[in-house]
A and B are shown apart, each in its own frame.
Chain A
Amino acid sequence: NAGVTQTPKFQVLKTGQSMTLQCAQDMNHEYMSWYRQDPGMGLRLIHYSVGAGITDQGEVPNGYNVSRSTTEDFPLRLLSAAPSQTSVYFCASTQGWQGIGEQYFGPGTRLTVT
Chain B
Amino acid sequence: GENVEQHPSTLSVQEGDSAVIKCTYSDSASNYFPWYKQELGKRPQLIIDIRSNVGEKKDQRIAVTLNKTAKHFSLHITETQPEDSAVYFCAVYYGKLTFGQGTILTVHP
Q: What is the interface of chain A, defined by CB distance below 8 A to chain B? A: 33, 35, 40-45, 48, 56, 58-59, 90, 98-103, 105-108
Contact = CB atoms under 8 A, between A and B. Distances in A.
B96 interface: yes
Given A42-B89, A42-B102, A43-B89, A102 B95 contact: no
Nearest to A106: B43
B95 A103 contact: no
Interface residues of B, number: 23
Interface in B32-77: 32, 34, 36, 43-46, 49
Contacts of A59: 1, 98
Interface of B: 1, 6, 9, 31-32, 34, 36, 43-46, 49, 89, 91, 93, 95-102
Nearest to B2: A59
Contact of B32 (A41, A100, A106, A108): A100
